[in-house]
Amino acid sequence: MTVVWEIIGWAAAVLLVGAYALVATRRLDARSATYHILNVVGAAGLVAYSIYKMAWPQLGLNLFWGAVGVVGIIIGLRAAGSTSDRRRSCASAASFDEEGVREG
């Protein structure tokens, strides 16, 4: 069973560091759902591993990290919802870009 926990811990660490590496190399947007999902899944894996190892500071850090990822997902979903609502209600009106500048 120890090997399974080690695999969980390493896989979770790879997800977190991999997500950061993708953002740092501009292959992934830090506001993307993919980035936040990688962080939440990685943090969840490290939370489980931290409980197994009884590593309480690491547990606290990864609970916080996961919560930040969940907040990022919620903000992204709300922004996507409000953008699609705006697009539906303004379909025949003049369009604006994301900074509020009128297009066309």
What are the Cα distances from residue 41, in Å, to 6, 52, 83, 93, 96? Answer: 16, 17, 27, 41, 35
pLDDT in tens, 36-76: 999 999 999 999 999 999 999 999 999 999 999 999 999 99
**H or E segment and range at residue 69:** helix 56-89
The token duo for 48 is: 């489980």
Contact 49, 5 (CB under 8 A): yes
Query: How far is residue 104's CA from residue 85's CA, in Å, rounded to a whole number?
Result: 21
Residue % of the chain over a pLDDT of 70 = 80
| Sequence spans of domains, the chain | 2-88
